[in-house]
Every structure is written in structure tokens, then in C-alpha cells.
Structure 1
Amino acid sequence: MLSRDHKREENAMNLSRLALVISVTALLLFAICVPAHARTEQVSSPDKSITVSVNIGKTLQWSLAVDGQEVLPPTPIALKLYKRTTLGATPRLLDVQRASVDEVIEPPVAEKRSRIPNRAEQMTLTFEGSYAVTFRAYDDGVAWRFETSLPGEVEIESETVAFRLNGPWKVWRTSTRKWNCSFESEYTVQPPAEWPADEMAFLPLYAKLENGPALLITEADLLSYPGMFIGRDQKDATLLTGRFAPYPKVEKPYRDRYIHVAEAEPFIAKVNGTRSFPWRVVCVARKDTDLLANDMVYRLATPCQIQDTSWIRPGKVAWDWWHANVMWNVPFKSGINNDTYKKYIDFAAQNGLEYVILDEGWSKTTDLTDLNPNVDLAALAQYGKEKGVRLILWCVWRTLDAQKDQVLPWFRNLGIAGVKVDFMDRDDQKVVEFYERMARATAEHQLLLDFHGAFKPTGLRRTWPNLITREGVMGMEYSKWSDKSGPE
């Protein structure tokens, strides 16, 4: 038998062991609740004037400092998978990779600069769960994007993008209350607190800090994903958040040119699990003129996918719709007919215009092969060729998409220069994919592409430089029926 002293000693040892077990368990529970890798990583622009700070804690948050001043306080970023996990929630950092981007881009089609320096410092944070977030800091702005390495196809329920505008900010914003719009709007100038919570703005959005820099918020390399809108948070008037059109479930044609979303899925995108997502872009300007020179969106886009670009020749165009094909003092009845278009071609040739647009009316809107009986397309193309002027044909987007395999080779054989595509009026994932599909298809047939009624540029013209222009503003056409697009 053990003595009393021995028993007391054994009890004390057991209590010590129990205390140790409790302490270790508590530490393990604390490690589970609070990530052991909670820390801040930073990346600064080549000239060190712009710094992105990324806080890795219970959530993933980013902030922006310009010239030593924090202009955007920390806000979360996340990517929520439908009925699955949220990337960016309780992040567990595995690796940090840093690199310098230093190249010169030579655009095959004229841009603001013939040689575009692409210099940035890059930081890629890789996390447990097969995802990463890459940040870039340029001398004129910052950008970030999610990258995933997940098997199969995944559905994205939502993406968290937020910008906190504390202090004396003013925003210049567009306005819409619905996803279906022509992306043509007047700009409202106001403090964020006066922004009605039920209104969204399509990008870009301009924000100016009193006695501080200006920011232009947009996105780049938008591929197979919905475009981003911005709205004011319902409860916090200083917080602007990204919003995305849901993925269409049921679509219904409307009139002869639209396709409306009749029913939507409970997620915003259906994508390949291994991919890079669009760049979230914040351009920085100390003075407004800096924005005119900013080409970050082009720099961040996927490089050119066309091997031979020698056939792509932008130029000036005579536009028939602007004055409704009405001519005076001509020996024929003006309108949508051969004589009128020959006159346009003559005018273009005499004044150094490379192209003439045949806007709505040259064919049936629902069938591009059903020509207006007063229009001989082949004869007009030949007449233009003799004069050194080529034709661009207006098309309804849904008709062209349905008939592209039939009509694009036909257009090229006729010597048509390109197409003007109209009435998309959406930027959900399906319509974004139409933009990509049409840019690729027209490039394959060496046709120029002009998008009308389009969402903002996101760099697709770098990837497919035959996309020579897009209209997505309240432009000159509004002068025909209003004074909204005047110089004021």
C-alpha cells in the first residue's frame, strides 16, 4: 500500500497533467478560432507612391494608400461558391509570391500610345482551398483578381467587392435600377450619402476626395463572367459595394431585337473551376488630366489573340442614320436604296472617309439574308471598292449571333469591311460571352467589329483588336430627340 504522502504526491501530479491538457486544448481551440497566420502583406507601386495593404485575419481585407495617405480604408474581398464555401472567409495563407511586371506593349491598332510601358509590382497570395488573390500596384493605380484551381465547373453565388469613402468625397455616377439597360445615362454628381440606396451605377465610377486624389473604379479582362455595377450599402452611406447580374435561367425574345431575362438563377456565374477572374481596377489621378493618359484597363487585358493584324484598319465613317438617309438636290428619291448609298460612297471618297455604314434597313432585322429589295449589297460593295470605300453593316445582335456561321463568310466574300452590332443591353455572363464569341468570329473572317449600346470597355480590344470601337455613353445620337448630350 502507498503512504499518504505518496498518494498526495500522485494526486498533485495528476492535477498538473490535467492542467496541461486543459491548457493545450485551450490553445488549440484558440488556434482554430483565430488564424495563426493573421498578418498584413503589402505591395507598392514601382515609384512607391501607391501601396496596397492586405490584412489576412478572420476575413481577407484590402486598403489603399496614395502618397502616404490612406484613401480607401480596409474592406473585405471574397468569392462565395454556390452552396459551398466562401473564398476569403477565414483565409489560411500558404504562400506569398512577389514579382515585377516590366514589359512594353506595342498595340497592333492605334491606342493613346504607340508603346505602352506595363510596369507594376505584383503580389500573389495563395490560400488553403485551392485559390489565390493577385494584387498589382502601378504608378497610376491598383488592381486585384481571384484565381482558382478547383475541379470541374463551379457556380459563383456572389463576389464581395467594396470601397469605403470616408470623408469629403464626391462621386460622378450613372444611374439604373435594373440590369437590363443600354448603358447610356447622364452623370449625377453628389456625396455618397446622397446616393439613393435603390439605384445602381454601371462602371466606370469616378470619385474625388477633397484635397486628395481622384479614383476611377472599373474592371478589366472581363471574360465569361457578369459585369460589375456599384451601389451604395443599404445601412452604411460611406460604403459602395459591387453588384452583379444573376445568371439567366430563362430568356425570352422581345420585339425583333432584344432578349430579356425572364427568370434568373440564384447565382451570378457558372464557370470553369480553374480560371482567373476579372481584375477589379482602381485608377489613381492626382489631377483630372491623369485619367486621360491612364490605360490600365488595356495593360491588364489578355494579350492579342490575332496572329496577323495587318488587315485591321480603323478609319472615319459616313453615317446614314444620323440624318435618316435624307438628301437634298439629288436626281433621285433619297432613302434606303442603291442611289442614296452610292451618293454616300461618293461623299466618303471625296472627303477621305474610309467607310460607309449601312444602318438599320438594308436587310430584315430578323434575317440578314433577306435584303431590302431596293438594296443590291454586292453591287454597292463593288462600287465602294472602285472608289476606295468599304461598307460596314448594322446588325441586331441576336440575329447576327444566330446566323454568324452563314453570313460572316458571305460578308467577307462580298468585301464588306465589318459589322456594327446593336441592342445587347445587358452584361450578365451570357451576354459577356456573346461579346467574346462575336469578337473571335469576326476576327476569323477578317471583319471589323463595332459594338453599339454596349457596356464599358474592359480590354477586349487588346485581345481582339478588330474590335475597333464600342458605344456605351449618352452620345451624339441623343441630339436628335433631346438636349441631354450637349456640351454642358
Structure 2
Amino acid sequence: MIRLFLLFLLLNFSSLSAFTQRLLRIQSPNNAIGLTVQHLPGGGMQYAVSYKGKPVIAPSGLGFVLSKPAVLLTQFTVTAVDSSRTDETWKPVWGEVSQIRNQYTELILTLRDKGKSGIVMRVRFRVYDDGLGFRYEFPKQGALNHVVVADERTQFRLTADHQTFWIPGDYDSNEYLYNATKLTAVNAVAAAVKEKDIALKTVIGPNAVQSPLLMKTGSGLYISLFEAAVVNYPVMHLQLDKKTLTLTSQLVPDAVGNKAYLQTPANTPWRTMLVSDKAIDLLTSKMILNLNEPLAIADPSWIKPQKFVGMWWEMHVNKATWQLTGGKHGANTQNVKKYIDFAAKYGFDGVLVEGWNVGWEDWFGNWKEEVFDFVTPYPDYDIDALTDYAQKKGVRLIMHHETSGSVTNYERRMDAAFSFMVKEKINTVKTGYVGRIIPRGEHHDGQWMVNHFERVAQKAAQYKLMVDSHESSRPTGRHRTYPNWMASEAARGSEFNNAPTLGITPEHTTILPFTRMLGGPMDFTPGLFHMRLNQFDNSRTTRVRTTLAKQLALYVTIYSPLQMAADLPENYEQHLDAFQFIRDVPVDWDDTKVIAAEPGDYILMARKGKGTNNWFAGAITDENARDLTLPLAFLDQNATYEATIYRDAPTADWDTNPESYVIEKKTVTAKDVLKIHLAKGGGCAIRLVKE
């Protein structure tokens, strides 16, 4: 690290006193992104952002409202200016690349409240080549110990009415379809009313949207507003003022209306923006990860990416039930053995079992404190015998802990539940938080729950367990610090293919990597092969709106180190030639190349398997058929590869012929360019093996 103190020129001024009413400007390392900070004559602080000389964020305010002490922190005296540059490289435990460069220019302003409180606050900016982040810091000080945040006054003032990809601001759900409209056309309440299949909604208001928020300007700039390293603080949603085109931070309140409880020293999460004139830059950015703290686990060698199958989709297509009553209980010993046999035969690491434990009969909607104890199986589920059976087959069971929103109950029982997992030689848990939260009045996105999700990761690490969280707040790069928190759902996942109202549109999976997935891997549960979901219930009209080839490509375009083959074994056994791609595709990578992408339209990328010379490519499209080209220049020069191409058949169509595909093989080199045709709602998956 090279520290360069006070190198930044004040515009025509070089003294701190001059800055109190002037501008301070810094640039990203490549000079593409400019940050301007202005101290207004009355004491207010504003920042602005430009990209290649063009304004991106117009002058926007910074500040806080505290209720303890009762202070409005918007007028300041600047007491210090500090700066530095950092250029370092680190290696993630697992991920999309084998190493990550962390290069930025940093500016720190120390501010003192101009009022009687005398409170000292720092604002720390880090400017990267692909974006910037800033956070507020409250150092330890005599005048400030315990802090209650009533509101945060962070603003993002936009320069025009951009095209925007958004979902309604909601304190309890992020499982919405994305809307694509002009910013001024946002109507979150109307959009939420259309969503009939979301179990729990707490919509903020008509002009509230969630972050990450993706925008595209008329001149072709892509802007993403988000946050990083959300720790001991609520999730940030955004309130839109359509007249001024200003987005203001909307923090999630607790049961009594407060936003956060802090004790100095304390930091907020980073408020972030990614900016580029190339869509692919958003998909390759590692800024969110870089803004998180380094690895907190001394020896992470036990953390292993994995592929798994599961006794899960049966319940969604009405073949089986979670509960024991009714005669269709899926998680019985003999049925789970079939999944273990299937996993062992085809080389999968684990078997997820849902509905194994007592309590599913009255688990949903009762806002009940005691539902599950996480250690008592149903009488038809012999967990000891299944553990032994799986171990002999070289497979592990994956635990499922549905809390039914009763989080206080889960916290009391976590040690017992994790000890039980260790006893049963189970090293991975899928957690769930369906329903209203207990303690009553808290929200999924509030500070209390953010702290709970962090506690689960920390506690699981003590037991050397890996976590896949569902119905959690969306990730913000915490897997850098706790890589055992391997994946989250936190968006509309594949289970919504079974939703009777809106389901999942073909464009949805072309938007997720630009939005939700900027914060971390998603357990989307791809790999559905039977697209009409009336297999076991003739009354069902729901369907999967992709082609089979696209389901294969999702294993490349939607990254997770925990990847599920979501469909039933019998559906895979009808297409073993296509199923081979799911068997072969890695879940950990040395390198990733995004070849072409446009949010809401298409994505084409290639990834190199960890520790191998093999590459895998995936291409997906929205409801429109299209043709893409894949230059193979990323392959090793002077080498040949066998390319196995899994593509849509000429007659494939997500609506009329979704399960039609073609598999072909050819020899290729780095000089070749593959032409890829994608059907409506279609995709293409390619395996490239070095010969």
C-alpha cells in the first residue's frame, strides 16, 4: 500500500480553510471516474460523480438524523482531509476468478457538527476504475457513545430520467419480477399488487425501490446503485423524488420505528455505484467484494463448493408434501435413499432433504414462536440410517432449517441444531425464513435480522458448516469475510416457475446478474428439464418459460458455489445426454470472461474450471430469438479443444417446443469463432476440453 497524504489539489486553493467553501476533486486510478466533494457556505456537504468527464450523479447531499442524541447532522466544519492510494491483490477461497485486484484512491473527510453537539463524523470515499463507495464513520468520542439512527440523508441525484430496472421497495421480500421503465414511471405499489404469489409483502410506498438499482442512460452509460458490507445496520432501500430525480436512502425500521442502534466506534455500510459505458463491466466488477473485510476464518480449508440434488421439487409439483399428514410425505427413508443412489451414480456431492423434521403441519402463517426444534425427525425418516447409507455411497445429506420466521426460536436452538448436524456428518445447511419475523415487528431487512444472518454465518463457522440462506436480505459481499456463507436466494428463484400468476419471465435471468447477483452468489436452483408442471397434477397450468438448453446455460451465467440440479431424477434419466453437462460443469472457477451482455436481453460468458484447462460457456436470451458469436481467443494458443455444444434445436421455442435440443461436437482452437443461435427463451451451453 502506498499512502500519499494530502496530495489532492483544492481547486485554486491548497489550504484546509480554503476548502471549507470550495471544491475537492479526486479521480479513479485510470482517471475515468471523478469524484467532487463540496463544502457549502452554510456547512452542508455534497458530492458529485462524473464518468469520462460527463456528469453521472449531480451534487447530492450527505447526512444523518439521530434520535439519541437528538441531532440533525447536516451542517459541518471540516477539521481534516486525508488521502491515500491502494493497489493490492488477494485470493478468494472460492469464486469466479482465482485472484482479485483491489485498486482505489481514497479520500477521508473528518467533519464536526456545527451545532452544539460537537459530534465528529468521518466520510470515507474510495474511487475505483469501475465505480466508487463511501461510508460514514463515527469514531469513539466523549460526546458520543450510544447512537440511535432515526434516518440517513444520503442522496443520489440523477442527471436525467434514465431507463431503470427496478423492483418495489419492500421491507420483507425481494422476490419480485423486475420492471423496466423510465425512472419517473416507477409505481411500486401498482407493481406489488400484480404479484399474487409472494407469501409476505411489506411495500414501502409508490416511489420506493430496492437496491441494487440498475439504470441505463440515453447516452449508453450503465449505473448501478447498491451497498456493500451491510453489518449491524439495516438494508438500504431508495425513495424517489420524481420532480428532482433524486433517490434518498430509505432504511428499514425496527418494531418501534428506529433505523439502527450503534455504539461508537461504528461504521455504516458502503453506499456504492458502478458506472461504465459497457454492460459487461458490471458483471466483471469486484468492487462490492473489495469493500468488505478480509477473510475472518483462520483455516477455510474445510469450505468446499459442491453440486447437489434434492428432495425439494417433488413438493412444488405436488408429487409429495413437506408435512407427514396426508399420505404423500416425501422425506421418508426409502425415497431419500433413491436420491442418494442417484447422487452417487452421477457424481453429486450432496442430497438436500426438505420436510424431514417434525412441525410442518402448522408451520406457515401462524406467527408461532415454537414450530421446529431442528433435531427431531418425522418417524418415517431414519436420519441415522440415511447418514450411514450416504457415507457409504460417498455422498452427504444437506440439512434444511426452515425457521418459519421464528428467529428467536432458531437462535435459542442453533447450537443444538449445529451439534446435531456434526453428529450426523452433515456439513451444509439451507436456512429458510418464510413468514413474519419473530421478534414481532421486525422485518427481514432490518438491523436485527441483518445481525442474525451474520450470527448464523459466524456460528456455523465455529462448527465448520456451510450455509445457504433463503428468504434472507440480499447479499452485499459478506462471503469475502465469511466464505462459509456460500449462497443466498434473496430474489425470485426457480421455485417461482411453479407460481400460478406471473412465474418467471424469460428476461428475468438476463437481469439477475446485473442486479441481485452483484452482491454475491444466488441459489437459483436451475436445471429443470420437464417444462410443463402438470406431471402429477393435471389441473396445473404452470410451466417453465425457458428451453432445456437455457437451463443448462444457467449453470454458467448464474454463479453459485452451491449448485443444485433441481429437477426429479426421473426427468433427468430421460435426457441423460443433456444431463451430462450438469455433471461436468464446475462450481468453482479460475477465470471468467464476459463476452457480450445487455440487461434484459442476453448474456454470453465463459469460465475456466478451477485447476483445469477446461472452459465452459453459457449464453441465454430473453423472449426473443437472437444470434451471438463467441470468439475463442481466451483459449490457450497453439492448443486444440474438443467443444461439446448443447444448443436449442431449430424448432425449439420456450412456449411451443421447450425440450428440443441438439448436442454436437467439434474440434476448435483459439482462432475460431462459434456462431450461436438462441431460440425464444433459449440458451446454449458449451464444454471446451483441452486435448
Q: TM-score, normalised by structure 2?
A: 0.60
Letter of the 1:356 partner, please give it: V
Q: Which has the higher helix share?
A: 1
Q: CA distance change for structure 1 residues 348 and 461 in 2, over 3 Å: closer, same or farther? A: same
Equivalent position of 2:506 in the other structure: 487
Cross-structure match for 1:198: 206
User: Are residues 1:289 and 2:280 paired?
Assistant: yes
Match of 2:265 in 1: 274
Shift of 1:355: 1.1
Pick aligned residue for 2:251 from 244, 254, 259: 244
Contact 1:182 1:423 in 2 (8 A): no
Identify the residue that residue 431 of structure 1 maps to in structure 2. 449
Q: CA deviation at 1:132?
A: 0.5
What do residues 160-182 of structure 1 show as CA deviations (whole Å, max 9, x unaligned)?
Answer: 12112232411110114x42x23
More relative contact order in 1 or in 2 (CA 8 Å, sep 6+)? 1
- Report the equivalent of 2:616: none
1:138 matched to 2:137: no
Q: Give distance in 1, aligned partners of 2:356 and 2:153.
A: 44
User: Does 2:55 match 1:60?
Assistant: no
Q: Determine whether 1:420 maps to 2:420.
A: no
* In structure 1, distance between residues paired with 2:458 and 2:221: 38
- Output one character per residue of 1:1-34: Cα deviation in whole Å (capped at 9) or x when no partner: xxxxxxxxxxxxxxxxxxxxxxxxxxxxxxxxx9
Following TM superposition, by how much is the alpha carbon of 1:333 offset from its aligned partner in structure 2, in angstroms? 8.4
Match of 2:312 in 1: 321
The reply on whether 1:406 has 2:412 as its aligned counterpart is no
Structure 2: where are the runs of 5+ without partners?
1-16, 113-118, 188-204, 321-326, 360-370, 435-442, 508-691
Partner of 2:155: 162
Q: Name the aligned partner's letter for residue 418 of structure 1.
A: T
Q: Separation in 2 of the partners of 1:100 and 1:86?
A: 34
Partners of 1:356 and 1:390 within 8 A in 2: yes
Q: State the 1:369 CA deviation.
A: 2.3
Q: Aligned letter for 1:383? A: Y
> Helix, strand or coil: the match of 2:173?
coil
Pairwise CA distance, 1:86: 4.9
In the aligned structure 1, how far is the partner of 2:479 from the partner of 2:330?
34
State the match for 2:81 in structure 1: 96
- The 8 Å contact of residues 332 and 356 in structure 2, kept in 1 or not, is answered as no
Q: TM-score, normalised to structure 1's length?
A: 0.84
Structure 2 SS opposite 1:367 = coil
Contact residue 68 and residue 146 of structure 2 kept, 8 A: no
* Residue 301 (structure 2) aligns with: 310
Deviates more, 1:40-49 or 1:163-172: 163-172
The 3-state SS of whatever aligns with 1:348 is helix
SS across alignment from 2:282:
helix
180, 196, 212: which is aligned to 1:189? Answer: 180
**CA pair 36-347 structure 1, distance change in 2 beyond 3 A:** closer
Residue in structure 2 matching 1:387, options 387, 393, 413: 393
State yes or no: 1:226 paired with 2:245: no
Deviation digits for residues 365-421 of structure 1 (CA, Å, limit 9, x no counterpart): 522122111111122122111111111111123243220121211211210122111
Question: What letter corresponds to residue 153 of structure 2 in structure 1?
Answer: T
Equivalent position of 1:38 in the other structure: 21
Give the drift of 1:205. 0.6
Higher gyration radius (CA):
1
1:124 is aligned with what amino acid? I
- Give the counterpart letter for 1:61 in structure 2: Q
Structure 1: stretches of 5+ with no match in the other structure:
1-33, 249-263
RMSD (Å), alpha carbons? 2.1
Which of 493, 496, 505 is residue 478 of structure 1 equivalent to?
Answer: 496
Amino acid at match of 1:40: L
Structure 1 counterpart of 2:221, one-letter code: P
The aligned residue for residue 632 of structure 2 is: none
Comparing 94-103 with 117-126, greater Cα deviation is found at: 94-103
3-state secondary structure, aligned to 1:92: strand
In terms of fraction of residues, the more strand-rich structure is 1
Q: Could you tell me whether the CA contact under 8 Å between 1:175 and 1:186 is conserved in 2?
A: no
Residue 247 of structure 1 deviates from its aligned partner by: 2.4
Question: Do structure 1's residue 116 and structure 2's residue 116 form an aligned pair?
Answer: no
Conservation of the 8 A alpha-carbon contact between 1:182 and 1:426 = yes
SS at the partner of 1:132? strand
SS of alignment partner, residue 76 of structure 2: coil
1:18-67 CA-to-partner distances (Å, cap 9, x unmatched) read xxxxxxxxxxxxxxxx9982222222110011011111123111110000
Relative to structure 1, the CA distance from residue 431 to residue 194 in structure 2 (aligned partners, 3 Å threshold; closer, same or farther) is same
Asked if 2 retains the 8 angstrom alpha-carbon contact of 1:35 and 1:92, the reply is no
Equivalenced residue count is: 431
Equivalent position to 1:453, from 466, 471, 489: 471
* Matching of residues 5-20 of structure 1 within 5 Å: none
Identity of aligned residues (%): 29
